[in-house]
Amino acid sequence: MKNHFFLLFVFTVLLIGCKEPNKAKKDVVVQKPKTSFAIVLHGGAGSIKKSYFTDAQEKAYRDKLSEALDAGYAVLQNNGSALEAVQKTINVMENAPLFNAGKGAVLNNLGKVEMDASIMDGKTLNCGAVAGVSHIKHPINAARVVMDSSRHVFLYGDGAEVFAREKGVQLMDAQYFITPKRQEQLKRLQAKEAGKKIAYKMAIDKMKDHKYGTVGCVALDKNGNIAAGTSTGGLMNKKYGRIGDSPIVGAGTYANNQTCGISCTGTGEYFIRTLASHSVSDLMQYKNKNLLEAIKTTIGKIQKLGGDGGMIGLDNKGNIAWYFNTDGMFRAYQKSNGEKKIEMFKN
Ligand code: ASP
């Protein structure tokens, strides 16, 4: 009899025990997949003042910024990666002679185009860069193949071009990049440096002489991954062989899922000295600064040294920040909650 009671007891306990997991299952909160995403871009900082633009010229810039933003946003919306979004956005601006990247890049001292670009994956800290390239239609695409298909991080000059061609990146004749506007600007700048002055034909020419015009983008995709990229022709009338901050990871570009993604524009030499984009990430990680505070602190450091420019950034929660110490910066962002902004001037 005792045994029967014991067996009944054991049986009941087992029955209750078996029921428990089901009960527990009901209580499990199913984690919704992350769906928020965001993208931010810049098209260079500098003397960008409302009075330098006609309505039509301002519209042309705004339309192109919007087109570039839409290209990257569509990638994110369709579950694409942040890297892909950054690349697509930058490609639109590299195609546009309005900006100092790809077609319409500025000219060096010898009247030649020498372009730099870099891209970084915030998930893996993997990155790729090219510098001093003169024939690559989309230098950001070359940076991407260096990252994805080589064991290196940074290639320059002819070697970078040979590698890019091997990997199927499109090359162009050097003439493709050169526009009459840039030739005129170079002539004027060189005359100015020689003590001669050539009058500006239009107010917008004055603006272009003094702005930097690099392009950059940072994106956060639906999987919570951040990527950042920057592409540029560098500085007008730069010394041949000069490399700026844009292709230097940690200076002009940085991305880390733990903190943020950053792309810079301005006098590259100062952004290199301050390791500007990496400094923003460090200030967030080790000093608990928020994104905007970290950007402002870093631009402050640059300003103290005599440099100017700006930055765009995006943190791992999708917060967006930008800041510059110039008259203006071409900039735009869009978030998955519907927020969209396109700005050019100081507010
Ligand atoms: N930072 C770039 C460079 O120094 C220029 C720019 O931002 O327009 O090459």
Nearest-CA residue for atom 8 of ligand 1:
212
Q: Ligand 1 centre from 305 Cα, in Å?
A: 16
**CB 163, CB 155: distance < 8 Å:** yes
Question: Which pLDDT value is given to residue 125?
Answer: 98
Distances 240 to 71, 132, 314 between C-alpha atoms, Å: 33, 9, 33
Q: Which atom of ligand 1 lies closest to the CA of 238?
A: 9
Listed by start position, the domains of the chain span 38-345
Q: Ligand 1 centre from 209 Cα, in Å?
A: 13
Q: Which of 179, 158, 168 lies closest to 233 in space, CA to CA?
A: 179
Q: Ligand 1 centre from 23 Cα, in Å?
A: 60
What gap in Å lies between CA 21 and CA 19, rounded to an integer?
6
Mean confidence (pLDDT) of the chain: 90
Q: Ligand 1 centre from 35 Cα, in Å?
A: 34
Q: Which of 292, 306, 231 lies closest to 264 in space, CA to CA?
A: 231
Active site residue ranges: 214
Distances 339 to 4, 215, 219, 313, 318 between C-alpha atoms, Å: 70, 21, 15, 16, 12
Q: Which atom of ligand 1 lies closest to the CA of 234?
A: 9
Please choose from 114, 235, 264 the residue to mutate so as to test ligand 1's pocket, defined by most ligand atoms within 8 A of CB.
235
Within 10 Å of residue 345's Cβ, how many Cβ atoms?
15
Q: 3-state class of 337 per DSSP?
A: coil
Percent of the chain scoring above 70 in pLDDT? 85
Nearest-CA residue for atom 5 of ligand 1:
234
Position 43 pLDDT exceeds 90: yes
The rounded radius of gyration (Å) of the Cα atoms in the chain is 25
Q: Which atom of ligand 1 lies closest to the CA of 116?
A: 9
Amino acid at 159: G
**Most confident of the ranges 32-46, 129-143, 192-206:** 129-143
What gap in Å lies between CA 46 and CA 30, rounded to an integer?
48
Q: Ligand 1 centre from 2 Cα, in Å?
A: 88
Please choose from 90, 109, 243, 246 the residue to mutate so as to test ligand 1's pocket, defined by most ligand atoms within 8 A of CB.
246
**344-233-256 Cα angle (round to 5):** 70
Q: Ligand 1 centre from 232 Cα, in Å?
A: 7
- 81-120 pLDDT per residue, tens: 999 999 999 999 999 999 999 999 999 999 999 999 999 9
Q: Ligand 1 centre from 267 Cα, in Å?
A: 5
**CB 311, CB 325: distance < 8 Å:** no
Position 29 pLDDT exceeds 90: no
Q: 3-state class of 252 per DSSP?
A: coil
Q: Which atom of ligand 1 lies closest to the CA of 265?
A: 7
Q: Report how far Cα 135 is from the mean position of its chain's Cα atoms.
A: 21
Please choose from 41, 115, 232, 243 the residue to mutate so as to test ligand 1's pocket, defined by most ligand atoms within 8 A of CB.
232
Strands 127-133 and 154-156 come out as parallel
Q: 3-state class of 246 per DSSP?
A: coil
Within 10 Å of residue 58's Cβ, how many Cβ atoms?
15
Fold adopted by 38-345? Glutamine Phosphoribosylpyrophosphate, subunit 1, domain 1 (3.60.20)
Residues near 343 by Cβ (< 8 Å), separated by ≥ 6? 329, 331, 332
**CB 302, CB 262: distance < 8 Å:** no
Nearest-CA residue for atom 7 of ligand 1:
265
Q: Which of 300, 262, 268, 305 lies closest to 282 in space, CA to CA?
A: 262
Nearest-CA residue for atom 9 of ligand 1:
234
Q: Which atom of ligand 1 lies closest to the CA of 252?
A: 1
Position 54 pLDDT exceeds 60: yes
Name the pLDDT band for 12 (thresholds 50, 70, 90).
low
Q: What is the CB < 6 Å shell around ligand 1?
A: 44, 100, 212-214, 232, 234-235, 244-246, 252, 265-268
Q: Which atom of ligand 1 lies closest to the CA of 244?
A: 9
- 276-333 pLDDT per residue, tens: 999 999 999 999 999 999 999 999 999 999 999 999 999 999 999 999 999 999 999 9
Position 17 pLDDT exceeds 70: no
Position 187 pLDDT exceeds 50: yes
Amino acid at 6: F
Name the DSSP class of 177.
Answer: G
Q: 3-state class of 14 per DSSP?
A: helix
Q: Ligand 1 centre from 345 Cα, in Å?
A: 19
Name the pLDDT band for 211 (thresholds 50, 70, 90).
low
What gap in Å lies between CA 96 and CA 98, rounded to an integer?
5
Within 10 Å of residue 193's Cβ, how many Cβ atoms?
9
**CB 99, CB 109: distance < 8 Å:** no
What gap in Å lies between CA 82 and CA 144, rounded to an integer?
12
Is pTM beyond 0.85? Reply is: yes
Q: Which of 268, 267, 295 lies closest to 281 in space, CA to CA?
A: 295
Position 210 pLDDT exceeds 70: no
